[in-house]
Structure 1
């Protein structure tokens, strides 16, 4: 019987119902006052109108909170009005609002209660106006009276039914909106899951394979160094232990992120020139700045992350840019900073990109411990990422020489 409703919405409903009561109740009293006769009868009539107004607009106040109770309150107000001998009043607008609420926000049972009230209420209103209030048509007898009564019935049912149908249409709109939101949420979750699978595949191909190679080489070096100083052997043992632990962590991460495993070579920094050439062929000129240059060979995961982020950012520039994109890479001792800027067209500036590509770029940056921001800055769209690469970059020398 009670629907979840925010406090703000409930306050707005109560205030709106109170304002309608304060406006329409005096109007009803003034409109019907002169026809009631003496002072005692007039005072009784005023009280009946006020009580009926309180019940009806009380139903309006709780129309969204409890449509069923609101319908009951509206019926109670209508009965008080009829017992007092009144015909249609301005306060009867509340009945239409309550019927709207029953079909817009009521349960299935309340919805059909509202429909039944439309039919029964129209019949009762027509019969009441003909029998009690003495509404007549023509001579007031025979065929003319019957025709007039049928006309009143049709008008009453149409008036009440119009409010109920309007609420039903709004109910359909709300349901369609809810379905659309659920669909968008499902698509977003599916896109995130798909991107996690792709990232897990990339991590397996690069990180897990590299760690397995390191373990094999470290174990071999340890056994081969049996005749060398004890410190070298201990260092090689530490390398093997650390690598095995890292491989175990990566496999656990892959289990959480993916449902399947893929294979295939992964792009590196050496493939960036090919990527830039493809962008030029699409009509966008990338202005690339690398300062400072990487002092050695960056880790494979960082190379892949930089490539994929640049790939998606340049794709957005092709779709929404004006023909020029600025790319800046800064290989610092402990991190690499990446920035892609492009001026967006007038149509693209109206809506900020928020599709699956941005989800993938953020996921990729977060997976290597970095961060990424994508936002409009004036007429430009800027993608900025910072990826940690450790205290130093491997110079590319063989492991035996480092030992």
Structure 2
């Protein structure tokens, strides 16, 4: 029966109703100076009832409608003429149409019809000094005009309230759709990130397994060489330390330990980028590659991150970009890592992806870059191109996992 309103709305309705009562009470008392004290008191009482209905119109439309009916019955029972307080009836009918439920709204329309009939009878027959004197006067044009005019006056605010309610419900529906879309995007993002983490786990499983194999082999060699060849044993121990450090750095890339079962295979490295680019060129994608600086050693996990980001970015350019124009791939090497930048033209007639949008494979690329301790950005450049840029640190690798000292068993 009671709607949920904010404190500001409740206070505003009460203050508005109070000002309504005070303003028109002064007018009523000023006009009633020439009337009897009973008539003025009755007018103020009717105005007070209407003011209460005005205060409750949004909090409880059915209650406000009932109070307004009580005020109208009191007014007609006292045979008082039309007053300023009757304006509150219009506000109540608007609130009934705007905030009431289905039943209350139809009660509001019925109240407008019944109120119009009673108003016409009251003004034309019952009110002292009315033009009509009996039932025969009910068929006159004046009565019918008063009836329809009263209904129009009462039904108009009810209809405006219905229209306002429809607009409000439409806005709420659109807002719910937007929230649902955002929730779906968040869920999709979570799924993509989880899939990419599983893929990273598979990659790192192979890297760590190989590192442990090297450690075991070097440890066995050092154990047998310790007595006869101390220098070889020291070299093996150094290799074990370097390999263990590198494996530890790769393990720190993992955020999820569980992974789905999938066929394993050799993991890509920086040297496989040329083969990847040639494969995409064979599909018709024009790739222009530029590399600056000196290539620095990178841990296996960081090499995989570079390869996967380039692979995903080129695949997106092939699927969603304009393949009639070349794609630019830049590798800028520094002492502590590499900056990978890929810029592809946007297909004619397609809108550039909005900044912060989910995109195609962007969450996975971002996840890989962040797990290496790097950074990632992606978005439209405003010149009809889409750019992906990632910084991948080297991982402080000093030795390649594939290399072993000579003489190692």
Which TM-score applies when normalising by structure 1? 0.69
CA RMSD in angstroms comes to 4.9
Greater RCO, 1 or 2 (C-alpha within 8 Å, sep 6+) = 2
State the Cα deviation string for residues 13-42 of structure 1 (Å, max 9, x = none). Answer: 977998899899979999x99998945688
Q: Quick check: which has more Rg, 1 or 2?
A: 2
| Cα distance in 2 between the residues matched to 1:290 and 1:234 | 36
Tell me, in whole angstroms, the C-alpha distance in 1 between the residues paired with 2:32 and 2:364.
Answer: 76
More helix by share: 1
Distance 1:174 1:144, change over 3 A: same
1:213-224 equivalences in 2 (<5 Å)? 213-224=210-221
Q: Which moved more, 1:342-351 or 1:182-191?
A: 342-351
Q: Cα–Cα, structure 1 residues 327 and 244, in superposed 2: closer, same or farther, change >3 Å?
A: closer
More divergent stretch after superposition (363-372 vs 139-148): 139-148
Partner of 1:332: 334
Q: 1:198-237 counterparts in 2 under 5 A?
A: 198-226=195-223, 227-228=225-226, 229=230, 231-232=234-235, 235=238
Q: Secondary structure at the match of 2:214?
A: helix
Q: Could you report, residue by residue, the CA deviation over 1:33-78 in whole angstroms, capped at 9, with x for unpaired residues?
A: 9998945688658746864664455346xx3xxx43x553454355
Among residues 134, 144, 151, which one is paired with 2:139 in the alignment? Answer: 144
CA contact (8 A) 1:341 1:381 kept: yes
1:72 maps to which residue?
A: 63
Structure 1 match to 2:186: 189
The whole-number CA distance in structure 1 between the counterparts of 2:407 and 2:117 is 103
Report the CA distance between 1:222 and its aligned residue. 0.7
Alignment map for 1:291-310 (pairs within 5 Å)? 291-296=292-297, 298-310=298-310
8 Å contact kept, 1:52–1:77: yes
Q: Deviations for 1:172-196, whole angstroms, at most 9, x for unmatched residues?
A: 4255335423532342233223323
Q: Deviations over 1:326-376 (max 9, x none)?
A: 332222232221223456568625844612423232222223222212344
**Selected match of 2:358 from 355, 358, 373:** 355
Q: Which runs of 5+ in 1 are unaligned?
A: 104-110
User: Contact 1:52/1:81 (CA < 8 Å) preserved in 2?
Assistant: no
- Cα distance, 1:51–1:116 mapped onto 2, change above 3 Å: same
Distance 1:394 1:233 in 2: 13
In the other structure, the counterpart of 1:118 is 108
Q: What's the TM-score, normalizing by structure 2? A: 0.68
SS in structure 1 of the partner of residue 377 of structure 2: strand
1:214/1:240 contact within 8 Å kept: yes
Indicate which of 105, 119, 123 corresponds to 1:129: 119
In structure 2, what is the Cα distance between the partners aligned to 1:24 and 1:192? 57
Partner deviation per Cα, 1:301-330 (whole Å, 9 max, x = no partner) = 333333343344445556366935433222
